[in-house]
Each structure stands twice: as structure tokens, then as C-alpha cells.
Chains A and B, each alone.
Chain A
Amino acid sequence: MTYKLEFGELLPYWDVLAQGLLFTIVLTLVSTVVGVALGTAAASARTFGPKWLGRLVDVYVELIRNTPFLVQLFFIFFGLPSIGLKLTETQAAFLAMVVNLGAYSTEIIRAGIEAVPKGHVEAGVSLAMTKWQVLRHVVLKQAFQKVYPALSSQIVIVMLGSSVVSQISAEDLTYAANFIQSRNFRAFEVYLVAALLYLLLAIAMRAILRGLGRVIFPKA
């Protein structure tokens, strides 16, 4: 049996793919902003907060880092309603992404915070800076500069992982590919095109993040 590739069959569905791609981009963008903010807060709490809070952050980070994203997603979407928290597919997808990226960025930013020399903090304190000022201007600024490359590649990894949200019918790029495949049975073509779109997105994100890094940390 021979199978002829017909990429033309995908043309009528270009808007479905475009919409899916847009959803994936927005999902990634929002979860990056909120997730990194969560990670920053959690990492700061882990290093400077009370001990019990640090423990709590550790449990959160290890639980998320050692379980698959798919299971986290299922837990949030199917499990949480039984204790009274009902979420739509889209809300569940956003929440799962934020929780997931939050844990990874906590771990990354914590490493950056720990790499800041103690003397810098002491110098900040002796200049009569408040605790917040030291955290913001002395610690976090340096920490972010150090871990920026690691954080960038984690964001790209999480973007690729987001293809899983299609499994709870959040309408991302993978969902669009599944939809098209179920209409025209051109599985190979549509998955290949979707995979290449992800690849392009990953390459573009890496370039944008690198450029952004040059703007935010001019010397680095």
C-alpha cells in the first residue's frame, strides 16, 4: 500500500491551526508572566521567609517536579471539582501551566539567589536599605541575571509541554491538529505541520528571550 502525502488538504483548515497557535502563544505568555512571578515569590520566601514557609515551598517544588504535567492537569481538571473547585478547560489549562512553571522557576531562581554573595546582602543592609530594597535591588536583580538563560530554556520546555492541555480539550495547537486529523484523516501531514509550527515557535521564543535578555541585562 502506498500513501501519497497531500499537504494541500490542510489549506482549508489554516484558520483552525492559526487559532490553535494563538491559544498556545497566549497560554505560554500568561503562564510565563504569572509563573515566574510565583516562582520569584516562592524562591524569596524559601530563602528569607520563616522556616515553615520554606518547607512548604520545598514540598510544592518537589511534588511538581517529580510528577508528569499530564497527571497534574488531570488532577486539576478532574480531581478538583470533587472538592468543589470547578474549572473550565481553559481555566484548568492556565492554572496547571502556572503551577508547573512556578515550581520549576522557583528552583531555578532559588539557585540564583543562593549564588549571590552574602557580603552583598550585608552591604545593602549596612547602607540602611530595608529588607525589601535589599531583596529587590541587590538579591533578585543579580539572581535573575545569573539564571536568565536557564529560565529561558525552561520557558521553552514548558511551552512544548503545553501541547498536553489538548487532552482536556483546551483548544491549543495540538487540539487543532487533532481536530483537523479527525476531519480529513491526514494524520501524518497535520501532525508534521503542527510539529514544525511548534519548532518555529520554540526557535522564535529562544531568539526573543535572548534579545530581551540583552535589553534587560545590558552588560551580560
Chain B
Amino acid sequence: MADFSLWVILSNLLLAARWTVVLSLVAFVSGGLVGLALLFLRVSQVPWLEFVTKCYIEFFQGTPLLMQLFLFFFGIALFGIEVSPWMAAWLALTFWTSAFLTEIWRGCVEAVPRGQWEASTSLALSFIEQMRYVILPQAFRIAIPPTVGFSVQVVKGTALTSIIGFIEVTKAGTMLNNATFRPFLVYSLVALIYFALCFPLSWYAKILEGRFHVAR
């Protein structure tokens, strides 16, 4: 049996951590884009559009991320569509992220005073123009702290993709544990890597939040 030094374990985990970072970034960006599109529907004042987005958000916020991953990975394959772990992970995380971001951002849009809507309506701006030039720039400022805070959830969410066989740091940890039989060490290192990724984000979110409260 090969001998695994601490360095070998750590370097392999760090190599796998690149995929955690890539998946987190990709899911966060695509989730953000879908979330932004949904936000327009969610605050559109068109009852059936709002209802559909509400159902979407309810489903993805009200069911476990793991179930969503299973549905995309095992479920869709049954319809004859080949789905790789990467694809399923990306899709599920995108939908899941977008549902949460839409709901966070809706709160920020609603925090913009009603008078802003009325004023921009009386200037004959269309709904898209109102959002683009009046509402979103103001909502954006409030939205940053909770959005940064939520990015931590996305990084942690990528850990679940190990279950459908996507090789990121948790999966690498499981594989290294199977080879080295040193679970205490391996999972401690895995946890530390996540901590190193997430703690700066949490900390930054907290700082931003404090700064915002002072500004107000």
C-alpha cells in the first residue's frame, strides 16, 4: 500500500478544492442571472407571472438541495438525456441559487420607497426602464451584504454534489479516506478548506452589513 504523507493528502485536497471554487463561481453567476430574470417577473405586478415565480421559489426553497440534485442526475437520465455529474450539479445549484437570490433581491426592491415607483411612472418610464434606471440602482446597494452572505451557502451547497459523484473537495476527502483510513485527519482538513473559503465571505458580509447600517 502506498504511503500517504500529510503533504500528499493536503495537496490532493487542494487540487480538488479548485473544482469546489469553480463550481461555486459558475453556479453563483448563473444562479444570479436566472435570479435577476426571475426578479423582474416576481415584481412585475402581473398576477399569473408572480404566481408562477412564487411556485418556483417555493419548490426550490422548500425541498432539500440533495433531492434537487437527485432529480437532475438520476431523474432526467431516465428520459434518455445523458446528464454528467458536472451538468446535474451545475443545473441544480443554478436553480437552487436563483430561487434564494430572487427572494433576497425582492426584499431589497420592496425596500425602495413606493414614491420612487410612482415618480418614475409619472415620468412615463416603462416597467423595464423603471427597474433599470430607478429601482435596481437603489436596491443594489442594500442587496450587496445579504448576497455576499448567501454566497457562503452556495460554497457549502457544492459539498452535496460529491454525493452524485462530482469530484470536488468533499468527494476527494472521501476517496482519500478510503485509501488512507485516516478519517479524523482527512475530514478535519476538508473542513478547514471549506472554512478558509467561507469565513472570509461571512466576515466580509458582516462588515458590509455594519457599514450599511452606519450609512443609514
Contacts and interface: CB of A to CB of B under 8 A. Distances in A.
Contacts of A160: 62-65
A75 interface: yes
Contact of A195 (B68, B79, B152, B202): B68
* B interface majority secondary structure: helix
Contacts of A79: 183-184, 186-188
Contact of B64 (A72, A75, A195): A195
Contacts of B162: 70
A88 to B, nearest CB: 16
Interface stretch (A141-149, A185-193, A211-219): A185-193
Given A82-B183, A198-B67, A67 B78 contact: no
Interface string B49-79: 0000000001100111111101100111111
A167 B183 contact: no
A199 B156 contact: no
A69 B156 contact: yes
Contacts of B98: none
A62 interface: yes
A187 B70 contact: yes
A83 B177 CA distance: 15
B183 A66 contact: no
A147 B199 CA distance: 23
Given A79-B187, A82-B184, 19 more contacts: A3-B80, A62-B202, A65-B202, A67-B195, A68-B160, A71-B159, A71-B170, A71-B173, A74-B174, A78-B183, A79-B183, A79-B186, A79-B188, A80-B184, A160-B65, A174-B67, A181-B74, A188-B78, A199-B63
Interface of B: 58-59, 62-68, 70-71, 74-80, 152, 156-157, 159-160, 162-163, 170, 173-174, 177, 182-184, 186-188, 190-191, 194-195, 198-199, 202
Interface of A: 1-3, 62-63, 65-72, 74-75, 78-83, 160-164, 166-167, 174, 177, 181, 187-188, 191-192, 194-196, 198-199, 202-203
